[in-house]
Amino acid sequence: MENINNISKLTDEEKIKTVLANYNDIAKDYVINFWNDTCDNKYIDGFLNDLPGKKILDLGCGIGKDEYYISNKGYDIIGIDFAENVIKEAKNKFPSCKFEIKDLTDLNYPSNSFDGIIFINTLFHIPEKKLFNTFKNINRILKSNGKMLMIFQEGEKEFLQEEPLKKGNYVYMHEYTFEFINSVLNAHNLKIYNFERENVNDKNCPINKKLILYIEKKN
């Protein structure tokens, strides 16, 4: 697939297929390169300190490194991802944790199931039209006063990016602004109660221009 010039020709389903195919392709390489990535742990700690309970859902868990970190702190966490191969790697690395193959844009958990949700380095793979249903369900499955940690690369463009771990693979990316995501959250009974920005220069970190949002469900 050619790079950014083709983005306007892709349907949302085709955009998402580039993400699925890529992560299934690079799952083992992702473990090698990013299992020891701890650059988000300080944000996870802040999120955990605010949680009203112990039950957490990870949207787009990848290889399960955050499950390993959070579970070892005494929390009950479920990791979901739609890429079968990364779930296999997660289970291999951390067999005692619960991982499920699920599409995070179409969550079917019962209402009020989770005290917290983490949504790290995943939002930028979701087309704009898929956001409504995603956040509608996030609001539904979060308990009252539930919290969410969301980390993504801030920007204002949609493009296909060549995968650094596998040349020739092009992956759908959609960077969103703070203002836009804030409006989407507010429309779904979710509010930002704190946020940070960080520019990172670390080869072990998959993104370098981070927006970190601490979110809570409105009463």
Domain 4-148+164-217 CATH superfamily: Vaccinia Virus protein VP39 (3.40.50.150)
pLDDT, position 219 = 75
Residue boundaries of the structural domains of the chain: 4-148+164-217
Pairwise CA distance, residues 194 & 117, whole Å: 15
Query: Do the Cβ atoms of 73 and 56 come closer than 8 Å?
Result: no
The single-letter DSSP state of residue 20 is H
- Helix (H) and strand (E) counts in the chain: 6, 9
Mean pLDDT score of the chain: 93
Distance from the first to the final alpha carbon of the chain? 46
pLDDT, position 22 = 97
Does residue 70 sit in helix, strand or coil? Answer: helix
What sign for the dihedral angle of Cα 65, 44, 131, 177?
negative
Q: Cβ of 191: how many Cβ atoms within 10 Å?
A: 12
pLDDT, position 3 = 43
pLDDT tens per residue across span 14-61? 999 999 999 999 999 999 998 988 989 999 999 999 999 999 999 999
**Alpha helices, H only, the chain:** 12-34, 41-50, 65-71, 84-93, 131-141, 178-187
**Would the pLDDT of 141 be above 60?**
yes
